[in-house]
Amino acid sequence: MEFSEFVHTGPGTIAGRYLRRFWHPIGCSHELAAGQALPIHIMDEEFTLYRGASGAVHLVGNRCAHRGTQLSAGWVEGECIRCFYHGWKYDGAGQCVEQPAEAESFAQKVKIFSYPVQEYIGLVFAYLGAGEPPPLSRYPKFESADISLDVAGLKRICNYFNNIDNSLDNAHVRFVHRRHRDAAQDQIVLGDPVISVEESDWGIKRYVKYPDGKDLTFFFGMPNINYINGQVVDPVIKRADVMVFKVPVDDENHIHFEVRAIPMRGERGRSWIEERRSLRVKAEQDRPGLVRLILAGKLRLSDVDPNRIDFVMLEDEIAQTGQGAIAVRGNEHLGRSDRGVFLLRKIWERELRNLAEGKAVKEWVYRPEMVPTYPGA
């Protein structure tokens, strides 16, 4: 199977079929107010996400069945959404319930697609596959009353698999993130790590030994989850557990959803998170432009403030987008430091081949005891 099979996730593609077997975040809960509707573009499909008057979220098709206008341009009424164009109204199951201007209504015969959704750890998760969805995995560390959740959905201008590959690559940290780590006052010795990997019940477990003798373990959950136990946050917070979901938008863009378990409670935690959210607004506006300017040779990373909230993201995006919007993996020369990347692709190739041939694919399972607390946290 060609590597290109990994990167295309639209309807009918083999990777798209595989990804649609899992729950994926499609939005952040705090960005969807009651009575609000948003257009959603995930895996080369378009949807309408809205929150009803009760607070419940609903996900239906992107277009009205009447004349094809985008439903998110309409308005929410109770638990229904009404089309902006001619006022056709749909409930959360996609059933048309009103057809103004039709003397003889045939609403009961009209239905658009709807999809299961759940809100959890500050994210809106959706199941876009066929049949009954599997149970949504639970992560108790992110449910604790002793933390606050810092949640973000960050747009990235490269294929999602560029980012997934990076999740299994520890050797890049010494070079890509050297300025961020200085700014965050991190104490990890940034020498060349010795890396070993193994397949686990959830995905991939990665053992990394640094020159100072420090041994760390990292975790990747199939198909697209990076669990970082003890990521550097800033000089005040120091470290926090972070979950990252890399969700395709189309072949050349994806959303990097992240949830940080910040060790603060109450008003202090809320204030810290609100400040970070306000800083992200501007950062999200100018980061893609900065990446393009740096890759075009019109700006240097050293000219950018390393204390900006998304600096580590900017560093990663330069490296990953610098591979091309879709990395050309057939031209690579992998070494021993790429063991994690090699195993990741091997697993993906196996799973996609089994799916294409009608064979059973592995049922991945997360258990809380799989991810220990970061040493010294």
Q: What angle do CA 152, 307, 195 make, to 5 degrees?
A: 75
Percent of the chain at pLDDT above 70?
Answer: 92
- Token pair belonging to 63: 């277009």
Q: pLDDT at position 338, please? A: 92
Please tell me whether residue 32 adopts helix, strand or coil conformation: coil
Residues 234-286 pLDDT 10s: 556 666 789 999 999 999 999 999 999 988 888 888 888 898 899 898 899 99
Produce one character per residue of 28-56: b if its CB has 16 or more CB atoms within 10 Å, e if not. bbeebeeeebbebebbbbebbbbbbeeee
Question: Is the pLDDT assigned to residue 232 strictly greater than 60?
Answer: no
Nearest-CA neighbor of 299 among 308, 307, 288, 290? 290
Query: Which amino acid is present at 186?
Result: D
Domain ranges of the chain: 31-127, 140-370
- Token pair belonging to 349: 């190739």
Residues 10-31 pLDDT 10s: 999 999 999 999 999 999 999 9
Is the Cα dihedral 351, 258, 249, 61 positive or negative? positive
Q: Indicate the pTM of the whole model.
A: 0.93
Distance CA 343, CA 200 (A): 11
Rg for the chain, CA atoms, rounded: 22
Q: Under CATH, which architecture does the 140-370 domain have?
A: Alpha-Beta Complex (3.90)
Give the class (CATH, top level) of 31-127: mainly beta
Q: pLDDT at position 174, please? A: 80
Distance CA 55, CA 116 (A): 15
> Helices marked H in the chain — which ranges?
4-7, 14-19, 160-167, 173-176, 178-183, 266-295, 311-321, 339-356
